[in-house]
Structure 1
Amino acid sequence: MRDPQVRFTETIEQSKATDRIRGFHIVIAASGMRDAGRIRHHLKEWLWREAATILFVGFQARGTLGRILLDGARHVRLMGEKVRVKARIHSVDVYSGHADGPQRAAWIAERRPISGSICLTYGEEHAIDGFADRLKKPDAGLLVIEPALDGVFVLPGGAPRQISSVVRSAAESADRLDWNNELSGLILDIDEQMSQAADQRSRKQVVRQLRKTLTAA
């Protein structure tokens, strides 16, 4: 076996060319939560392969493609196409470059007294609530703001001032799969059933069963 080599890809074309590599190899791609970047091309190429493993090495926020995959989605949409998830999905949440709670609290403590306010905008809801309590414990008068989805604030001129609290969609629905996801899954399931059908007669039977179900509904 040859010694392992690390090769850097500097262009989009070089990155896409890694999909043509055969045999065991590891592709390391940035874009921690899989919502943008070249990683989406790699996922489109490998998610449907049972021999592939997708390994997450950082936090995945609710509503992101990474979190949806970690939560066990059987199918996703990538660049307008439905992709069935057959690859193994694993996570090693120890390589994040973000500071942890005590480090952030220590950083803020070094800057006391704080005349303005602190806005907490990144993290799970329970984690943000806990961190806000930690910050206010030594300073009950500290203004800690936890902006919600659709909140609008004016930042200049002292403490942030909220000018809109009209909520267009509930925060808990931001990461929830809707009927579009259910429809995509159904279409993929139908395609799989049709491909597994033994002959044309079996495929027609599947279609008739679907029509019967739709008529009953």
Structure 2
Amino acid sequence: MEFTHGDSTILVDCGMFQGSRTLERLNFAEFTFDPRKIDAVVLTHAHIDHSGLLPKLVKQGFKGPIWCTRPTADLLEYMLADSGRIQENEAERRNRRRDRAGDEPFEPVYDSEDAMAAWRKCRPVELEHYFEPAPSFRARLWNAGHILGSASVELYAGGVHVMCSGDVGPENKAFQLDPAGPSGFDHVICESTYGDRAREPVTIEQRRKLLQAEVEASLVRGGNLVIPAFALERTQELLLDLHALLQTGAIRNVHVFVDSPLANRVTEVFSRYTSELEDTGQRNIFNDPLFHFVTDVAESIKLNSTSGAIIMAASGMCEGGRVRHHLAHNLHRRDSTILLVGYQAEGTLGRVILEGAQAVRISGTDVRVRAQIRRIDSYSAHADQHELLEWIEERSPIAGTLFLDHGEASSMEGMRRELQRRSPGLNVRLPQIGERYELAAGKAARRTETGRADLEQAIGRDWQNAYADFATSLKRQLGELRSDRDRREAIVQMKEVLRSYAAHRAKHKTGK
């Protein structure tokens, strides 16, 4: 989000697009502003969808400071470095593809050097202490209860009082205190990841019972329990609960492999803040002898022959990282279990698996889904509808406009309807990507620039998801035909459909 007053302009967050391949391509697009004219960034937390384009910002000329909490700065060192390596590796992989021979080299969004240059711009500030991120702006950070170091951003500029929620954590969130902040704003910008749904309240003890049941069932089946887990916070929460279950004897001794170099480094950061974390008893629960932190690639490959273990790996939405390797080796096994414990965005492999795909495509290979697919919702780091409404109520009264962002269309619309039902006079907006507003004290926001409808179309499942679904089932469906002659005829007809459609679109485009 970009805020301008007088001659000063700041950003609150500068995150990467995550989801389908179509959506991720937006990370290569030009910024809608000149990075050289941004005076400062105020960062809510270290998740890549909030911080991931900071290195690109620096690469293109940003010279100012990045204000954030100290834990966020500590985490960002590893989060951005990892993101830089991912960009480099992805560019290298694409340039090796034979179908790109002779094309212009594919350039990464940024590299590791850009990532470290961005991290060095971090300026840690304490929660609830005023600071001036740029001339004519005054700000405070408030605990958001989402992940280690997460904050909501309170801004004052030109007599206008604004609150940006960042990501808001739920009740009973491990490690974190409940969200906090003042009341009475002109404008509030609130996330709405789970704006259309309410979860059954679950305590940490109840959540551990759910995890215990999944672990016990997977051990009975004899295969591995593979848990795609976000490297930041989700992995550490799972380790907290597994440690408790192992210590009390609720589950028998089982080896837990954390196969994620990034998660291992993030866990080291958590260890530094043990005395400040809730639910740990001020002990370092991460040094359990049954926890194995895998870094070496050869060690990771050895896990292919493992059975009866718990394997945690990033990414949490199965879009990259070592978890895809473990899915490729466990999805087809009837004795293995895949446990999804995080939000699965539209268009991601995790969402496709969750929605019951019979086969998926991983690194160009079709993989049948025979493993048990299980899910625990209680690990969410995001507030649900009830908790978001409570957070908004605590920020009230809102004299101007409440903006809803950071959610799928159905989530934001569900949240809007409930807000309008409760407070018919509240001005609620669902801004599109690229929209600009003028914010005044005590008045509803006035839109000054429309959004880009073409970008909205990139959100959600894209043609590549549809292609993957089609391609993974095609061979099986062809095999079900009676003869090779029928199969050849089917292929000929499919080619004709594509040729005919292309001709139709070309005719329609030229108007002939």
In the other structure, the counterpart of 1:64 is 348
In the other structure, the counterpart of 1:4 is 254
Deviation of 1:21 after TM superposition, in Å, equals 4.3
Deviations 1:41-78 (A, max 9, x none): 21122112222211112333332211211211122122
Deviations 1:175-203 (A, max 9, x none): 6852453133213555xx59xxxxxxxxx
The answer to whether the Cα contact below 8 Å between 2:317 and 2:343 also exists between their aligned partners in 1 is yes
- Segments of structure 1 that go 5 or more residues without pairing to the other structure are 195-204
The answer to whether the Cα contact below 8 Å between 2:341 and 2:379 also exists between their aligned partners in 1 is yes
1:153 lines up with 2:435 in the alignment? yes
TM-score, scaled to structure 1: 0.72
Report the identity percentage: 31
SS at match of 2:292: coil
How does 1:110-149 map onto structure 2 within 5 Å?
A: 110-114=394-398, 115-123=400-408, 125=410, 127-147=411-431
In the other structure, the counterpart of 2:329 is 45
Deviation of 1:26 after TM superposition, in Å, equals 1.3
Among 464, 467, 486, the alignment partner of 1:209 is 486
The answer to whether the Cα contact below 8 Å between 2:314 and 2:320 also exists between their aligned partners in 1 is no
1:84 lines up with 2:371 in the alignment? no
Decide which structure has greater strand share. Answer: 2
SS at match of 1:152: coil
In the other structure, the counterpart of 1:178 is 466
Query: How much is the aligned-residue C-alpha RMSD, in angstroms?
Result: 3.4
Relative distance call for 1:89 and 1:118 in structure 2 (3 A) is same
The answer to whether the Cα contact below 8 Å between 2:318 and 2:324 also exists between their aligned partners in 1 is yes
Stretches (4+) displaced over 6 A: none
- Segments of structure 2 that go 5 or more residues without pairing to the other structure are 1-251, 256-289, 440-444, 495-512
Q: Letter of the aligned partner of 1:119 in structure 2?
A: L
SS at match of 2:450: strand
- Name the CA distance, whole Å, in 2 between partners of 1:12 and 1:141: 58
- Name the CA distance, whole Å, in 2 between partners of 1:20 and 1:180: 25
The answer to whether the Cα contact below 8 Å between 1:57 and 1:93 also exists between their aligned partners in 2 is yes
In the other structure, the counterpart of 1:198 is none
In the other structure, the counterpart of 2:8 is none
The answer to whether the Cα contact below 8 Å between 1:16 and 1:41 also exists between their aligned partners in 2 is no
Q: How many residues align?
A: 200
- Name the CA distance, whole Å, in 2 between partners of 1:74 and 1:91: 17
- Name the CA distance, whole Å, in 1 between partners of 2:396 and 2:475: 57
Q: Letter of the aligned partner of 1:187 in structure 2?
A: K
Deviation of 1:147 after TM superposition, in Å, equals 4.4
How does 1:95-106 map onto structure 2 within 5 Å?
A: 95-106=379-390
SS at match of 2:315: coil
Relative distance call for 1:94 and 1:7 in structure 2 (3 A) is same
